[in-house]
Structure 1
Amino acid sequence: MTDIPPTTRRRLWPLYLMPTLLLIAAIGWSLFWFVSASQVDRIVDNWRAREAAAGRVYECGDRTVAGFPFRLEVRCTDASVALTSQTAEQVASRTPLTAKLGEILVVAQIYDPRLLIAEFKGPASFADRGRPTSMVLNWATARSSVAGLPGPPQRVALVFDAPALDRVDGATQTPLARARHAEMHARQVEGPAPDQQRIETDFRFEGASIQELHPLLAELFDANLRVTLSGLKDFRPKPWPERFRELQAAGGRIEITQARIQQGGMIATAIGALGLTPAGNVDGELQMVVAGLDQVIPKLGIDKVLEQGVSQSTLDRLAPGVRANDVNNVLGALDRAIPGLGRVVRQNANVGVAAGINALGQEATLEGRPARAVPLRFVDGAVMLGPIKVAQMKPLF
């Protein structure tokens, strides 16, 4: 039998070194992945606890963690969230709203478990607890990201492609809102002092429409909006009505630093600051610049109101302080003096309203087009375009 020289045996150890190192690295990486997976699970649980303290209770029928070796994936099926005290109406009624959806997939890179990216599978159904579904939200894709967990989130983003919200009445679904694309981005920003924190939020809508709110919003529009909430004392989890109440008590402001909406040939921009009254109503003024104002006035419905006669409740909405009897009597007198004259005035009401608003504003230029600068006032929740009340906002708390 031939013996292997000692020098040959000594040279074999490099052949085992690399596999040994790879095995150790694989074991170490596996341990690191499982430790990180437990951390993501803990982060999700902490986030759920924070949301529950703010009146948003998330539940998961079945939760699994996967993604080895380079990602961390938390999959939640049969997901639901119970919303309580998120609006002034919910605070008053104490009725929680429950939303259910099929699946939520939360993904984190193993090297940065504090950044969570989520995908949602629709549709989502909404119902008051113990009652049938009242609304359904569907979409093509829905994604979100949250950075800064497990502490207060530093950045939050939510993006929808083709969202569609419907009202459900038995077997009938009625469209409430549509958009080709919608997204929201929120982040913490430094205030003038360490104890004066702010939240800056950007909204973007493309090809959007909203029914049952105002005729102006029923037709397709694109909008970009940047809002900054100032006067916040902290970012502890709490329902929005409670946060708005604290903001009002601290003299905080809702700053519109950038706003643009385009609908057909009409383009409008606005900037300004709004406050809150002790009753929770929005109060303040925005400076608007509008190109194509003549296309907006007919959508306010002034001509139809006058053609049908003016009720006091309708007139209070459109022109507070004017008595319905005065308007109807004047139009009737015109008809008696010259038959048909009152109808002419009614049919040209929009021209008169536009002229009145133009008289209040100033000439301006917007994106190279002739425009008009007019004030958009919020008076204890009432939205006033010049002398016309175009909407009424509900209290925020």
Structure 2
Amino acid sequence: MDQAAPSGSPRRSRFWLYTPFVLLLLLAIAWSIAWFVIRNRAADALDGWLAAEARSGRQWTCGDRTIAGYPFRIEIVCNSLDLKRGAVTASFGRTEAVAQIYQPRRIITEVAGPLRVTDGAVTVQGTWDLLQASINATPAGLQRLSLAATAPKVTVTGIGGGEIAGSGSRLELHVRPNPSRAGEQARDVAASVTEARIPLLDALIGGGEPANLTADVTVTRADGFKGGTIAEEMELWRNAGGKLDILMLAATKGSRQIEAKGDLRLDEQHRPAGQLNLSAAGLDGLLGNLTGGRLGGNLLGMLLGQGRAPAQPNAKPQLAPLPPLRLENGFLAMGPFVIPNVKLQPLY
């Protein structure tokens, strides 16, 4: 005889079977709402920044702006980016700025060319294959700006002496406020260009080899762009007592090498002034160009040890310290000698 099943046996609940999926769905909904809230706040912050810039005289125009990046990023894209302040205008190609939701003060930017900057007299034009920048900020302001460009090409027109052109394999630039010299409004700048080709440098030093250039400098009184012409900006900087502290300038071009340390400023006639401590090798051609092949060139060459043979065949000559190079009253002086045929012209 069959026995009836107990009428009070419990039924197994399926609640815990579906709970993880329900929680995941709720989390996705909550995250989506949070992302759109953050997106709207980012748009409001950008509008506020543009308004603040406009009040300071800098008019930014972001063409066809879009904001995307769901679910973990905020991406702001301008199909074109333009800046106008006073007589100075600048234009860029498509610009994309990206920040992670969890790290909003670190912004990665990719900028397409071409670049064009002009003040109505001097014009700078540039192109590149890839240009990326990273901006690290704190509530107090900029902490660090880094930029890297592959295959950069730059042309400067409208200055005395004709067009200046240059290109390279890679450009890197790093800028940060100097934490120990805040009172001087100092900015540390480190830059390098690999395989640079600069016709003006070829004509001065000789040889067609590409050059590797590095710079590590500190600029004082670098309190921002005021919106005037390049000449007006330079004059404001000079009147404020601005100075360029050169921690290291280095150039290598074939067997030619030079390193410099010192400081530079602008005198009342807008000419470079200051002193550089140099070390060099293989600069016979440069000395000859500066002195016009006169006896002074041979004498300087002897003083600088340029005639020494390298220790091994095909080895590059060792850097030799040079007498200090002074820039005074529009002239160059090395040690006790004023270099003939060289007169520094006003920069503006």
- 2:114 aligns to what? 123
Q: 8 Å contact 2:272–2:344 — kept in the other structure? A: no
Q: Which amino acid aligns with 2:115?
A: A
- 1:376 aligns to what? 325
Q: 8 Å contact 1:79–1:100 — kept in the other structure? A: yes
- 2:296 aligns to what? 353
- Give runs of aligned pairs for residues 178-257 of structure 1, distance below 5 A: 178-191=167-180, 195-211=183-199, 215-216=203-204, 219=208, 220-230=210-220, 235=223, 238-239=226-227, 248=238, 251=241, 253-257=243-247
Instruction: Give, in angstroms, the shift of residue 54 of structure 1.
Output: 6.7
Output one character per residue of 1:39-65: Cα deviation in whole Å (capped at 9) or x when no partner. Answer: 433454455456657765321121001
Q: Secondary structure at the match of 2:27?
A: helix
Q: Secondary structure at the match of 1:153?
A: strand
- 1:22 aligns to what? 24
CA distance in 2: counterparts of 1:272 and 1:390, whole angstroms: 20
- 2:130 aligns to what? 141
Q: Secondary structure at the match of 1:158?
A: strand
- 2:92 aligns to what? 101
Q: Runs of 5+ in structure 1 lacking a partner?
A: 85-94, 304-348
Instruction: Give the length in aligned residue pairs.
Output: 326
CA distance in 1: counterparts of 2:9 and 2:28, whole angstroms: 32
Instruction: Give, in angstroms, the shift of residue 237 of structure 1.
Output: 5.8
Match of 1:295 among 285, 300, 303: 285
Instruction: Give, in angstroms, the shift of residue 24 of structure 1.
Output: 2.2
Q: Runs of 5+ in structure 2 lacking a partner?
A: 311-315
The answer as to 2:11 corresponding to 1:8 is: yes
Match of 1:64 among 51, 63, 66: 66
CA distance in 1: counterparts of 2:68 and 2:7, whole angstroms: 49
TM-score (norm 1): 0.68
Output one character per residue of 1:62-109: Cα deviation in whole Å (capped at 9) or x when no partner. Answer: 10011111121111013222354xxxxxxxxxx43x333331011111
The structure, 1 or 2, with the larger RCO (C-alpha pairs under 8 Å, 6+ apart) is 1
The answer as to 2:145 corresponding to 1:156 is: yes
Q: Which amino acid aligns with 1:268?
A: I
CA distance in 2: counterparts of 1:125 and 1:354, whole angstroms: 41
Pair 1:147–1:264, CA change in 2 (3 A): same
- 2:265 aligns to what? 275
Instruction: Give, in angstroms, the shift of residue 380 of structure 1.
Output: 4.6
Output one character per residue of 1:135-163: Cα deviation in whole Å (capped at 9) or x when no partner. Answer: 64211111111111675311111221111
CA distance in 2: counterparts of 1:53 and 1:278, whole angstroms: 33
Q: 8 Å contact 1:64–1:74 — kept in the other structure? A: yes
Output one character per residue of 1:173-223: Cα deviation in whole Å (capped at 9) or x when no partner. Answer: x8822111112110112225x634421001101122334688327853211
The structure that is helix-richer by fraction is 1
Q: Percent identity?
A: 28
Pair 1:384–1:34, CA change in 2 (3 A): farther
The answer as to 2:344 corresponding to 1:392 is: yes
Pair 1:283–1:159, CA change in 2 (3 A): same
Pair 1:154–1:267, CA change in 2 (3 A): same
